[in-house]
């Protein structure tokens, strides 16, 4: 079954083109432990040439891969993103769930900066013909033709081969050796970030949710709220201070204490008027989810403009948080794969009201875990990922540190609450002596 409001993939994607298999394309898969493996296919060269990539299980296991054709127009982005998520969910169900591991896969052309195609590398513990037919049927039903399922088979000499096609005709349609590919200068997913995960303007995020109107009823309500917000709202004369940080760094305590101490207004992002729809959008693919969170920042900006005419404003998370989590989620692997310093993805949107000061609270991973124990609160998928995946946590923290205009002022939140509050207040007084 497809999520409520979804049209069938054949209708949604009737005009999408699935790119044919080309030997010049390269691929990157994220293995367990956040290790990335880059590979490609070679039809030339003597047998044994080129190293075999990791990530392909030996017999009696068998591996498969497929990618979803890139959307050919902005209107096709949402259907393509939802289809990818639907296929991901189906690959977790019978007959694929047991003895099967599904890894994220990107297909890209190293000579072309165009957006890569998303897909999956499926590892099955047993090469069961019935399961393989189920996988072929899944693609036949949900992907536009021609959809290519690649089957990976190990030869007697240890060489790994990619076979194209279906049933007994695989080798007749194509056969190529699988070899390591050199990693590119930048992670292939970097080209998907701007206005695909980190939105550079209100209009860019709004266009995505507009495409969701017939699919997600809540999108209409969010868009109506955004339309009521003025473009480029003018702020008041009082300072605007944002407190950022991972969960369990003490943001709630610090923001509440600052509100009382400075006689300030405390705002949160997302604001209460849209918080009830977070679960709905958290279940959507990255493109839709991030567009929602981007637009909530513009709603908060409207509130900031109004409140800063009367008193100082403290904001519990804002744009930096939205961007940092998006970057860390989309860029697989370790911290070294993040976009470099001064990349546009770290820059504040020009049409979003900018704060005067951003303070980032930091604690050690061990201290975070200690504080989280016994909380008993429901965690989002990303919050749960922070606890079990140290690379994800490191990518979020490093993304925060790379933000520019404004950058984050770091405060160690490991000491007592009183000491942390005193340190944060000192930072604020240093910037605003009259407060």
**pLDDT tens digits for range 360-415:** 999 887 777 777 776 655 555 665 666 557 899 999 999 999 999 999 999 999 99
In degrees and rounded to multiples of 5, residue 278 shows phi and psi of: -60, -45
What is the pLDDT, as a whole number, of residue 105? 96
Neighbouring CB atoms inside 10 A of 260's CB total: 9
Quote the CA–CA distance of 328 and 117 in Å, as a whole number.
19
Q: Which candidate, 234, 293, 288, places its Cα nearest to that of 268?
A: 293
In degrees and rounded to multiples of 5, residue 84 shows phi and psi of: -60, -45
Quote the CA–CA distance of 3 and 21 in Å, as a whole number.
30
> Is 329 within 8 Å of 273 (Cβ atoms)?
no
Quote the CA–CA distance of 87 and 106 in Å, as a whole number.
15
CA angle (366, 371, 376) in 5-degree steps: 130
The secondary element (H helix, E strand) that includes residue 275 is helix 272-275
Cα dist. 21→30, 147, 150 in Å? 21, 9, 9
Within 13 A of 93's CA, how many CA atoms are on the CB side? 8
**pLDDT tens digits for range 330-366:** 999 999 999 999 999 999 999 999 999 999 999 887 7
> Is 212 within 8 Å of 280 (Cβ atoms)?
no
Quote the CA–CA distance of 267 and 270 in Å, as a whole number.
9
Q: CA 105: distance to chain centroid? A: 14
Average pLDDT over residues 34-40: 93
**pLDDT tens digits for range 235-277:** 999 999 999 998 888 899 999 999 999 999 999 999 999 999 9
Neighbouring CB atoms inside 10 A of 201's CB total: 15
DSSP letters for 191-243: GGTBTTTB-SSHHHHHHHHHHTTTT-HHHHHHHHHHHTSPSSPPP-SS-EEEE
Pairing label, strands 100-108, 240-245: unpaired
Q: Can you name the residues that pair with 107 across neighbouring β-strands? A: 27, 117
Residue 17 in this model has a pLDDT that exceeds 60: no
Torsion of CA 213, 138, 178, 328, to 10 degrees: 30
Residue 404 gets which letter from DSSP?
Answer: B
What is the pLDDT, as a whole number, of residue 184? 93
> Is 38 within 8 Å of 181 (Cβ atoms)?
yes
Which single residue is written with the structure tokens 């049933």?
Answer: 167
Cα dist. 147→3, 22, 59, 119, 150 in Å? 23, 13, 25, 12, 10
Average pLDDT over residues 274-284: 95
Domains parsed from the chain with CATH numbers = 9-184 (no CATH), 192-431 (3.40.50.300)
Length of the chain in residues, anyone? Answer: 435
The three-state secondary structure class of 72 is: coil
Quote the CA–CA distance of 29 and 123 in Å, as a whole number.
12
Edge-to-edge strand ranges of the sheet holding 240-245: 265-268, 313-316, 240-245, 357-362, 409-412
Q: Which candidate, 26, 22, 42, 56, places its Cα nearest to that of 176?
A: 42
> Is 95 within 8 Å of 305 (Cβ atoms)?
no
Average pLDDT over residues 50-73: 86
The three-state secondary structure class of 42 is: strand
pLDDT bin (cut points 50, 70, 90) of residue 301 is: very high
pLDDT bin (cut points 50, 70, 90) of residue 165 is: low
Q: Which candidate, 337, 339, 335, places its Cα nearest to that of 391?
A: 335
The three-state secondary structure class of 86 is: helix
Neighbouring CB atoms inside 10 A of 358's CB total: 23
**pLDDT tens digits for range 118-158:** 999 999 988 778 888 889 899 989 987 667 888 998 887 78
CA angle (77, 78, 80) in 5-degree steps: 65
């Amino acid at each position: 079954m497809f999520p409520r409001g979804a049209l069938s993939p054949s209708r949604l994607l009737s005009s999408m083109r699935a790119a044919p298999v080309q030997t010049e394309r390269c691929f990157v898969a994220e293995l367990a432990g956040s290790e990335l493996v880059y590979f490609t296919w070679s039809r030339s060269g003597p047998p044994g040439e080129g190293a075999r990539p990791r990530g392909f299980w030996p017999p009696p296991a068998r591996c498969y891969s497929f990618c979803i054709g890139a959307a050919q127009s902005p209107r096709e982005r949402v259907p393509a993103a939802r289809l990818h998520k639907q296929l991901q969910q189906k690959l977790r169900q019978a007959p694929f769930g047991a003895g099967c591991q599904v890894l994220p896969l990107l297909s890209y052309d190293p000579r072309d900066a165009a957006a890569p195609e998303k897909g999956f590398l499926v590892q099955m513990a047993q090469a069961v013909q019935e399961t393989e037919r189920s996988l072929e049927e899944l693609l036949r039903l949900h992907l536009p033709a021609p959809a290519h399922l690649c089957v990976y088979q190990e030869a007697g000499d240890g060489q790994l081969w990619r076979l194209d096609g279906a049933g007994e005709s695989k080798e007749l349609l194509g056969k190529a050796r699988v070899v390591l590919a050199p990693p590119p200068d930048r992670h292939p997913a970097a080209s998907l970030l701007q206005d695909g995960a980190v939105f550079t303007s209100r209009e860019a995020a709004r266009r995505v949710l507009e495409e969701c109107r017939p699919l997600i009823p809540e999108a209409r309500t969010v868009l109506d709220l955004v339309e009521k917000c003025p473009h480029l709202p003018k702020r008041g004369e009082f300072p605007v201070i944002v407190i950022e940080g991972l969960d369990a760094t003490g943001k709630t305590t610090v923001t509440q204490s600052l509100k009382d101490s400075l006689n300030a207004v405390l705002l949160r992002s997302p604001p209460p008027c849209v918080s009830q729809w977070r679960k709905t959008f958290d279940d959507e693919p990255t493109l839709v989810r991030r567009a929602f969170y981007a637009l909530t920042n513009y709603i908060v900006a409207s509130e900031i403009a109004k409140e800063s005419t009367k008193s100082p404003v403290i904001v519990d998370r804002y744009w930096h948080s939205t961007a940092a989590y998006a970057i860390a989620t989309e860029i697989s692997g370790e911290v070294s794969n993040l976009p470099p310093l001064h990349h546009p993805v770290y820059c504040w949107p020009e049409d979003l009201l900018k704060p005067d000061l951003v303070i980032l609270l930091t604690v050690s991973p061990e201290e975070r875990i200690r504080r989280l124990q016994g909380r008993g609160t429901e965690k989002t998928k990303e919050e749960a990922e922070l606890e079990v995946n140290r690379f994800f946590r490191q990518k979020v923290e490093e993304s925060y540190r790379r933000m520019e205009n404004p950058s984050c002022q770091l405060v160690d939140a490991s000491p007592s609450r009183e000491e942390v509050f005193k340190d944060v207040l000192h930072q604020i007084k240093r910037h605003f002596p009259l407060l």
